[in-house]
Amino acid sequence: MLDHKGRTQFNRMMRLRDNDVHQGRSDGKTLATLIPIERSSDDDVWMYQQQPNYAALGISRPVSEHKNPDGSTVSSYDGLQGSMCL
């Protein structure tokens, strides 16, 4: 339980937080980007899906590759998924 001084300080900090969170502005622009898919061991669908043996077929394993708006290139053998960045 806060005393009067503590409540005053708490309320003052809440008003500052409201100004920052609810009225904040950013000059940044949201861009769509891709990131590698991360497969977890708990993902049953992925775990039981039969993977081809590329070495036995005599071909190289396909890789997904994409150049993001920031100039970085991402690649993954499992695929890419969408995300947002500034």
Mean pLDDT within 18-47: 67
Q: Lowest mean pLDDT of 7-11, 34-38, 43-47, name the range.
A: 43-47
Q: What pLDDT band is residue 79 in, cutting at 50, 70 and 90?
A: confident
pLDDT value of residue 67: 92
Is the separation of the CB atoms in 31 and 84 below 8 Å?
Answer: yes
Is the separation of the CB atoms in 73 and 36 below 8 Å?
Answer: no
Q: Rounded to whole angstroms, how far apart are CA atoms 11 and 83?
A: 36
- What is the rounded average pLDDT for all residues in the chain? 76
How do strand 31-36 and strand 80-85 relate by DSSP bridges?
antiparallel
Other C-beta atoms lying within 10 Å of the C-beta of residue 34: 20
Sequence spans of domains, the chain? 27-85
pTM of the model: 0.48
